[in-house]
Amino acid sequence: MDMSMNRRGVIEAIGVGGLTVLAGCSSNSPNEQSEQGEDNTPTQTATEVPAPAKFDGTAGTVEYHIPQELGIGERATIKITIHNTGERSGDFSAPLYVRDPEDGEWQVLQHWEANDVPPGNSVKMETPADGITKFIQFDHIRRVQYRLGELSKSPVIQITPANLSWGEQYTTPEGYIIGINQPSLQDTYEHKKFGYTVSAEPDDGNQWVFVNAYVKNETGQTALSPFGSDFVLIYDNSQVRQNYDDSPFYDPINQGDEFEVAELQPGIERSGWIAYQIPSNISANDITIAWSKTTFDGDIIINWGSG
């Protein structure tokens, strides 16, 4: 009985003593901690690599500074701002394309470059990008579309009629110079008849309009000048061509010669009056004189007015 109790006491004592020893070893022996699987080696953190420069043409990365409309003969420059939305500096290089948006294929106009653009920064590029093309200019009514590289945006410019002031001259693509002077509005005009000075009146409710047209042949070869009927008078929502039934039957005094079509030699110029009848309530500021021509490359329309 006593022996059995002593045996259990020894086992219990060894058990308790063993836990106490293990606990003591755990707190006092670093080497034994390593043997239990703990690692005291410092951990290395991976360094994040900044994203490369980015010029992808999405919203906010490219801005075109191009007029929506441009008159025939007017000049403009193309300006484009690109934004680097990446996280590193980078270079941008791309061709500037142009085409007719209706049926044309993209053609390279220039090559544009921007070097070392910092992240989050912008750079504005403009013609002449290659030192050759200084501006854009068009001679015919048309639509023109531009695109920088593969960037998504591609704005369109509408080419419109040229609007000139009285007395300004326009040179056709072939080299003909044309100008229209300010109109003269008259209730009557005077002319000579059988040696007498006679007044001529327009139709009831109308007035006479006289304009002086000027042309000069600078084409380098013999060329036909415009017809007087090629010049159209426009007022409100109406237009009037020179109608010989309504034109003065006699030459007006102090108006010079009537404008007539002619085949002009190179360097030869000619001028003369063209007459119209319009309602008497129309003023000179309400009048526009338009000359137009249809060519293989498109229509040419030139307007003269008070501006």
Q: Supply the pLDDT for residue 64.
A: 87
Q: Determine contact, residues 184/209, Cβ cutoff 8 Å.
A: yes
Q: What is the per-residue pLDDT across 81-115, written as a single tens digit (0 to 9) for each?
A: 888 888 899 998 889 899 999 877 999 988 888 88
| pLDDT band for position 167 (cuts 50, 70, 90) | very high
Write the DSSP string, 101-117. Answer: TTTPPPEEEEEEEEEEE
Extended beta strands in 230-281, E state: 231-235, 238-241, 263-264, 269-279
**Multiple choice CATH, 162-305, 3.40.190.10, 2.60.40.1240, 3.40.50.880, 3.40.50.970:** 2.60.40.1240
Q: What is the mean pLDDT of the chain?
A: 80
| pLDDT band for position 243 (cuts 50, 70, 90) | low
Q: Determine contact, residues 286/236, Cβ cutoff 8 Å.
A: yes
Residue 128 preceded by cis peptide, ω within 30: yes
Q: Measure CA of the first residue to CA of the last residue in the chain; give whole Å.
A: 132
List, by residue range, all CATH 2.60.40.1240 domains of the chain. Answer: 162-305
Q: What is the per-residue pLDDT across 123-145, written as a single tens digit (0 to 9) for each?
A: 888 876 555 556 889 999 999 99
* Cα–Cα distance, 299 to 303 (Å, whole number): 13
pLDDT above 60: residue 18:
no
Count of alpha carbons within 13 angstroms of residue 75, beta-carbon side = 5
C-alpha triplet 272, 226, 174: angle, nearest 5°: 125
Residue 43, Ramachandran bin (φ over 0: left; ψ between -120 and 50: alpha; else beta): beta
Q: Supply the pLDDT for residue 19.
A: 22
Q: Determine contact, residues 96/78, Cβ cutoff 8 Å.
A: yes
Phi, psi of 49 (to 5 degrees): -90, 125
More confident residue, 267 or 41: 267
| pLDDT band for position 255 (cuts 50, 70, 90) | confident
Q: What is the per-residue pLDDT across 31-58, written as a single tens digit (0 to 9) for each?
A: 444 455 555 665 655 567 777 888 765 5
Three-state DSSP class for 17? helix
Phi, psi of 141 (to 5 degrees): -70, 125
CATH annotation of 62-160:
2.60.40.10
SS3 percent helix, strand, coil of the chain, rounded to 5, is 15, 45, 45
List, by residue range, all CATH 2.60.40.10 domains of the chain. Answer: 62-160
Give me the residue label for tokens 């006699």.
250
Tokens for 174? Answer: 């072939």
pLDDT above 50: residue 12:
no
Q: What is the per-residue pLDDT across 142-158, written as a single tens digit (0 to 9) for each?
A: 999 998 888 767 899 99
Q: Determine contact, residues 198/188, Cβ cutoff 8 Å.
A: no
Q: Supply the pLDDT for residue 250.
A: 65
Q: Supply the pLDDT for residue 22.
A: 24
Q: What is the per-residue pLDDT across 217-229, written as a single tens digit (0 to 9) for each?
A: 999 999 999 998 8
* Cα–Cα distance, 252 to 212 (Å, whole number): 13
Tokens for 101? Answer: 């948006």
Say which range, 24-38, 105-119, 184-198, 268-282, has the weakest mean pLDDT.
24-38
- Classify residue 78 as exposed, middle or buried by CB count within 10 Å of its CB (0-12, 13-18, 19+): buried
> Above pLDDT 70, what percent of the chain?
77
Q: Supply the pLDDT for residue 15.
A: 29
| pLDDT band for position 211 (cuts 50, 70, 90) | very high
| Interacting residues of 1 by C-beta distance below 8 A, sequence separation 6+ | none
Q: Determine contact, residues 259/227, Cβ cutoff 8 Å.
A: no
| pLDDT band for position 181 (cuts 50, 70, 90) | very high
